Structure 1
């Protein structure tokens, strides 16, 4: 957590949640995670995911202060004040094994956004490859500063080959992702499944046509394999660098019913496009701390007229 974030978090502490979220234009709360686990996950270099205990405490805090809604209710957009919709990215198997049972127990609807390239453990997200390599190098006492963008994928694969790491064997052994059958089980249990791009690139590295291809191909896969009642797409990393022209094409081609960015609690000028709140931040120990900080920051930005999401 940065010094500024710590100061904002400290300043927000004495205020009740009801005061921090006050205001007629406060956006609907859309928290998201990647995984929940009590083990040291192979991909742990990427974010500080919650333990099962903390996740349950987070849910209890959310349920005390907000009302959970489904993706269908979010799309309808009626009376969203003090509501929340939970989501999870990347399709990791802990979502099926750990997260879903907890959500069912507490009666919380949620959406799971997946990358078709990784379903059934067919491949691995480039930043997760970097995390696995980092872990190996650490065990060997080697200091490494791996590049982790989509543009570095070939170099990561070459590095794995150089040290004798076979990704197919790793996937077969670890099975980090959900299978299509598991996704269908989640859907049968009432959860929503959406797309998260084909193979999780940083969209700001792609031209407009490549960006559209990522949306088209991943949404086509989700529709063909799961036929969801709401066609939802969550931009990987963020929607930064996605132009109005791309959004217009998504709407004109009717690729999605609803889309998401990750700018936190911010007002969004585009129709049926919403900003989510990342819940796995370094140094943050609870949803209470994170969301108080998030809403306090929103109120400050609102005073300065900086509370509206921008993509450039």
Structure 2
């Protein structure tokens, strides 16, 4: 009987790809943004990436040793968490804070809830928000070309003009992996071609966000403003690489679209009416918390099962 059934936690792979292979695909897709981040911000960015990855892998290995569980570091999920966390951090962040955030991502968000497939939110984003709340000054301090200043989104919020082309290419202030839209899109296309993600979540996310801007920004159909909002902050990184996380996003086709619409609305609310110019991380985490409800109402009914509340006459 044990040869016929294999009971395990999600994500349940229904194809030839393994969890490790999918994680590896995402890591490869993030390489263009990672390489550009190191080029843009220097070797300090590379050090931060290495520290986050090493700490995440070590945290998972040590935790599993302590609780006498089989090691799972070969599935590359800890490597991916460390890489995503690093790409969401300013390169000037103190190393000890990056280490603390990495431990939080693996131990608190992931392993204490059962490991891969059972975490209720994206570990990297959970850690980023933890660091934002705990160390707001260092997490919101950005330096570019030796000058400390505001990000393009913060400048726009203050009514200043920004260079959209620089935002698209990535030669602006920001976190290590969020600045270059073109590098992120190269990675996103790779994931789509490899069948790792589809456009339901990122497409509905970005379209809803644009519609929200058209209605509530007060800028009307200002192409430059909309383009700058799309290129700014962690929107592209979040839409293609974190909102699409298998574990914390819906599995149903309609659920994915609803989830994307929800993220677009939340991001618009946070950016236009919140205290911070960003909002992607908090939007995705709130969306993660609502995934069980979304799936409950979008999972198709089995043939022959009547909906609750309906009675036969």
| TM-score, shorter chain, exceeding 0.5 | no
Higher relative contact order (CA 8 A, sep 6+): 1
Higher helix share: 2
**Which of the five TM-score ranges fits, normalised by the shorter chain?**
under 0.3
Q: Using structure 1 for the length normalisation, give the TM-score.
A: 0.27
Higher strand share: 1
